[in-house]
Structure 1
Amino acid sequence: MNTNHRLHYLVRRTHRYLGVFIGIQFLFWTLGGLYFSWSDMDYIHGDYQRKAAPMLKVNDSLAAPNRVLENLAVQHPIDQISSIQLIDILGRPYYRVEIVHGMHHKQFFLADAISGKLRPALSKVEALKMATEQFVGQPRVTKVDYLSATNGHHEYRESPLPAYAIHFDHPSKTTVYVATEMGAVTKFRNEKWRIFDFLWMLHTMDYQSRDNLGNVLLRVFSILGLCTIASGFFLFWLSRKAPRV
């Protein structure tokens, strides 16, 4: 076998085995891309199921934010204040204070916007009422879970905790998440979102947290994909120059 034949044979075998090795991942990338591009993101995010937030009505004079911070400082050490927001909780105005400890740890506190007094995190009854009021229609609640921690694969990962996960009897199999210390409905998760999330994991090849686009496995397969494409072009060029074997 002369040099041209050996080179042609080597490139052909390399291209074949690279194609088999990464072909399944290429299929996952293609399926994921099709699902992402053909899906309505408003539906996946559950926006169509969520009522617009009510306008905040304030008929009484509000306590000054400084008063809230003074009450907070008595009970909790304050490192840095990230934000103070005026929010609505079941028709009543409250301040939501976000403080930061160190560089990354965030903590939320709620205070009555009229009296300035701190209040506890949302109760289960309050969370249920908020989730039901914000859900379009009147679906039945089937189960309520209290979350104090989540792992990298949970659909509520990297979201404010603690929270109540409120499951509804609905064709979309929707779960509404209410963060107790934030005093807010934070996430709607339905079946389409879960399919999206699974395909996203296959797309990013991050099987730990799903959202790390710089993981080693994705980089390796991306390089192998380029090698497969390059070997295909090279094989095409060799096929024009060398006799068929």
Structure 2
Amino acid sequence: MAEKPLMLRLAKWHIWLGWLVGFPILMWMASGLFMAARPIEEVRGGHMRLPVEAQPLILPGSALASEEFPLKEMRAVMQGGRAIAILTGMDGSVRRVDMDSGTPLPALSASDARRIVGERIVGGDKITSVRQFEADKVPFDFRRPVPVWQVVLGDGTHVYVGRDTGEIEAVRTGWWRAYDFMWGLHIMDLQTREETSHPILIIFAALGLTGALFGCILMFRRRTARRMPGSRS
């Protein structure tokens, strides 16, 4: 009998909490279902873009482009105190050249990756391992088809340095990996963690919205105490 008052209090608190969180939950469910209803590419208008034939980048009077390496795009950065051009070819390959002389620069070595991380990352002097990955075999927490050096720090952070770009391509802390896992759970896609619109997610979002809507409706129902036949007042 001692448990009954406690259970009654919990039921009363539950009703008040329902009033406080019912409508936010309803809005979250409705907005989530709306956002999951269409693929993100369609939302961004990607389906409206007509295909355009790619054309090589022409640089008159420059030795950076050639018939052997037709350019798709070029990016200029400062590395080691000198201007470097990061060139992307029409085939997707990447190379670095000295902008002053046009001399191609070699791919980064493990010691180069260590030096870059030590210069640009907090705690970059505490390195536990350095490992190279090809573009088709990158770790799951990177997920980009780019050849990289994975530099692991003492606190578990993974720093990815582009082998051909000489730039830090990504920093994956332990919190980032936990967030990435939770994001996969949130969108119900633990494989790629990128698909925000698929039937399973839409179905469960619709069910959640229906349940939240019913809950909000039931909060307005007036409950009257009914006495059982023969009960005492």
Q: TM-score, normalised by structure 2?
A: 0.62
Deviations 1:115-136 (A, max 9, x none): 2122232222212211111122
Corresponding position of 2:182 = 199
Structure 2 residue 105 is matched with structure 1 residue 119: yes
Deviations 1:63-85 (A, max 9, x none): x8721113xx33x4x2x52x222
Corresponding position of 1:210 = 193
Q: TM-score, normalised by structure 1?
A: 0.59
* Alpha carbons 2:108, 2:164 under 8 Å: kept: yes
Corresponding position of 1:22 = none
Deviations 1:182-219 (A, max 9, x none): 22111111111111111111111112211211122211
RMSD over aligned Cα, in angstroms? 3.1
Corresponding position of 2:65 = 69
- Percent identity over the alignment is 26
Within 1, Cα distance between the matches of 2:192 and 2:227? 48
Within 2, Cα distance between the matches of 1:113 and 1:142? 34
Corresponding position of 1:220 = 203
Distance 1:89-1:244 versus aligned 2 partners, 3 A rule:
farther
Within 1, Cα distance between the matches of 2:172 and 2:96? 25
- Segments of structure 2 that go 5 or more residues without pairing to the other structure are 1-24, 30-59, 229-233
Within 2, Cα distance between the matches of 1:98 and 1:110? 9
Corresponding position of 2:82 = 92
- What amino acid sits opposite 2:85 in the alignment? Y
Within 1, Cα distance between the matches of 2:122 and 2:174? 17
CA shift, 1:225, in A, is 0.6
- What amino acid sits opposite 1:67 in the alignment? A
Within 1, Cα distance between the matches of 2:110 and 2:199? 42
Deviations 1:14-52 (A, max 9, x none): xxxxxxxxxxxx9xx99xxxxxxxxxxxxxxxxxxxxxx
Within 1, Cα distance between the matches of 2:124 and 2:95? 30
Within 1, Cα distance between the matches of 2:132 and 2:212? 49
* Alpha carbons 1:90, 1:130 under 8 Å: kept: no
SS of the aligned residue for 1:66 comes to: coil
Distance 1:231-1:84 versus aligned 2 partners, 3 A rule:
same
Within 1, Cα distance between the matches of 2:123 and 2:223? 66
* Alpha carbons 1:150, 1:156 under 8 Å: kept: no
Q: Map 1:1-245 onto structure 2 (within 5 A).
A: 66-70=62-66, 73-74=67-68, 76=69, 78=70, 81=72, 83-101=73-91, 106-137=92-123, 139-148=125-134, 149-150=136-137, 154-158=140-144, 160-170=145-155, 173-235=156-218
Q: How many residues align?
A: 170
Higher helix share: 1
* Alpha carbons 1:67, 1:116 under 8 Å: kept: yes
